[in-house]
Amino acid sequence: MADEIQEQKVNPYLIAIAVLLPSFLALAASSATNVSQPHIAGFYGATQYEANTVVTCYIISGGLMLPVTGYLVRRIGKKLLMIYSIAVFALGCLLCVIAPTLQTLIAARVVQGIGSGCILPLCQAFLLEAFPPNQRGVAMSLFGVAAMFSPLAGPFFGGYLTDNFSWQWIFIANIPLCILSLVMVKFLVADDIIEPLKYNKKFDYAGYISIVLAMGCMQVILDKGQQWNWFDATWICWMTGICIFSFVFFYVWELEYKYPVIDIRVFKDRNFLVGTMISSFINVTIYSTLLLVPMFVQSMIGYSPSMSGLAMFPRAVICFIGLLVVGEISKYVNPKLLAIIGFVIIAISMLMLTQMNPASSMESIVLPNILLCIGVPTAFVPITALSFQTLPASKTADAAALHALFKNIVTAIATSVSSTFIARVSQVYQNYFVANLSTENPVYHVKLAAAQSKFLHYYPAYVASRKAGGSLYKELLAQARLASFFDVFTVLALIIVLIIPFVLILKYKRAK
């Protein structure tokens, strides 16, 4: 009877909608707050750097759920775990809406991230089950849409809601969609065919606690380091030591323990090790630019959140199209050659971003982003395929979890380091540029006199002189910040170029 019931399957595309909707919400939530950071910081009376924790804590907490997804599936089943995950995600959204302080908002984002962590791997599993084997390509194309399109579309929707309503609506809008997702998963997704197997292995508490402790300490260090001047603070030195020790303990313990939470021995496979590293740097490029470009256009050009989101939206559309096109092209082109072409395109787009300035037009911002998202799928699709090509089928599940976890860690580090880079390097440039505001500099005298003459129309001479000096110093700060953005995009371009030789290390087995 159970087999007969199972034969009467729901249309796979309805199941796809049911599981892709929460996946879209979970991934869009990682970037939707990027464009509203100035509003969040202003609402709580915090700096924009402190508000950056709202983004990084979500990424880290979601990543911590990846290692235990397989264990939880065995304990309670895929469908029930998906329902619980959506419910926790919705609870996190509600807590974000009512958070009275920045600290409680960060805690609420952690709850939201815990709910989101299992959703994406579960979505992939449901899609593979829903579609017949001859349509697996369609299933993975739909999964790619959620995995790549939604984080890129997040800034557009976040900016629109922030501008037209308030930043809280980024979270309010998720709640009814989560309820809809719960209903659709409940009634459209089939129950597990068999009862969840009793897990006959001990859960690796020591390994999991060590990775949680390591990533938690790393999160605090990255978020508070700039505020406390990094290693000048004793407690940051202690937390750094705990973080390093926990990572080392996790590595050694997972090698020796009989039932590790993640089998890190898969890193012995050269393709997987190198491919995971390369994929992580692709993520660095995506998420760093998702944070830095909205930050630039809002702070340097004066765009509203919705305008900055609109400037970012074309990259989401291009990436969506690119995923579909590159999947077909990869059948006929050597994946290593395709990946190298993708990295060259990404590097060119990074160099184009260095040309942005306070007078840049919308087109000069959109074009490099479009080029970036032509390069990203061109590199991402073949690199991902090559990473798993030489692994045995029995290791794929552990490898997928480790691949996602590693990318989450690197992405969180890149997000924090990008903000720190802008803050620190702009201070360095201020020290260099302030020498130009000297009485011995004739150009400074001319600019100061011109500014004073303008202010004299409205203020007394003394006030006009002070305001003229202040306006020139404000211009110095803007130039220093502009130079820091130039440097960070140059560094990203250099990293991408340096990665290209590693592509040649990957083994490629041509399909028969």
Quick one: how far is CA 312 from the chain centroid? 14
pLDDT surpassing 50 at residue 5:
no
Q: Determine the pLDDT at residue 1.
A: 38
CA nearest 381: which of 344, 313, 335? 335
d(CA 94, CA 175): 7
Q: Determine the pLDDT at residue 236.
A: 85
d(CA 142, CA 175): 23
Annotation: CATH topology of 262-512: Growth Hormone; Chain: A; (1.20.1250)
Q: Determine the pLDDT at residue 370.
A: 87
Q: Determine the pLDDT at residue 339.
A: 86
Token pair for residue 393? 């089928």
Q: Determine the pLDDT at residue 136.
A: 58
**Contact status, residue 10 vs residue 190, Cβ threshold 8 Å:** yes
Burial class (CB in 10 A: 0-12, 13-18, 19+), 195: exposed
d(CA 55, CA 41): 12
Read off φ and ψ for residue 166, nearest 5 degrees.
Answer: -165, 170
d(CA 180, CA 43): 30
Provide CB contacts within 8 A for 287, sequence distance 6+: 30, 31, 151, 411, 414, 415
Q: How large is the average pLDDT for residues 196-202?
A: 53
First to last CA, the chain: 41
* CATH 1.20.1250.20 domain position(s) in the chain: 8-192, 262-512
SS3 at position 35: coil
Q: Determine the pLDDT at residue 2.
A: 40
d(CA 239, CA 230): 11
Residue tagged 């302080």 (tokens): 101
CA nearest 508: which of 330, 269, 271? 271
d(CA 93, CA 458): 49
Angle in degrees, 0-180, between the axes of helices 150-164 and 270-296, rounded to the nearest 10: 20
Q: For residue 176, what is the DSSP state? A: H
* pLDDT tens-digit series, residues 123-176: 877 776 777 766 655 666 677 677 767 776 777 788 778 878 888 888 888 888
DSSP calls for 333-381: S-HHHHHHHHHHHHHHHHHHHTT--TT--HHHHHHHHHHHHHHHHHHHH
pLDDT surpassing 70 at residue 394:
no
Q: Determine the pLDDT at residue 135.
A: 62
Q: For residue 136, what is the DSSP state? A: H
> Per residue in 242-268, is it b (16+ CB within 10 Å) or e — as a string?
bbeebbebbeebbeeeeebbbbbebee
Higher pLDDT, 241 or 229: 241
Q: Which helix (H) or strand (E) holds 442?
A: helix 442-455
172-53-491-400 Cα dihedral, nearest 10 degrees:
-70
pLDDT surpassing 70 at residue 426:
yes
Q: For residue 36, what is the DSSP state? A: T
Helix, strand, coil fractions of the chain, as percent rounded to 5? 80, 0, 20
Assigned CATH class of 8-192: mainly alpha
pLDDT surpassing 60 at residue 194:
no
CA distances from 118 to 24, 87, 138, 288, 394 (A): 13, 12, 22, 24, 21
What is the pTM for the complete model shown? 0.74
Handedness of CA 434, 437, 442, 443 (dihedral sign): positive
- At residue 292's C-alpha, the angle toward residues 300 and 378, to 5°, is 130
Average pLDDT value for the chain: 79
Lowest-pLDDT choice from 207-216, 324-333, 480-489: 324-333
Token pair for residue 225? 């380091």
d(CA 252, CA 211): 12
Q: Determine the pLDDT at residue 494.
A: 92
CA distances from 212 to 84, 106, 249, 506 (A): 21, 17, 12, 31
pLDDT surpassing 70 at residue 345:
yes
- At residue 51's C-alpha, the angle toward residues 50 and 56, to 5°, is 95
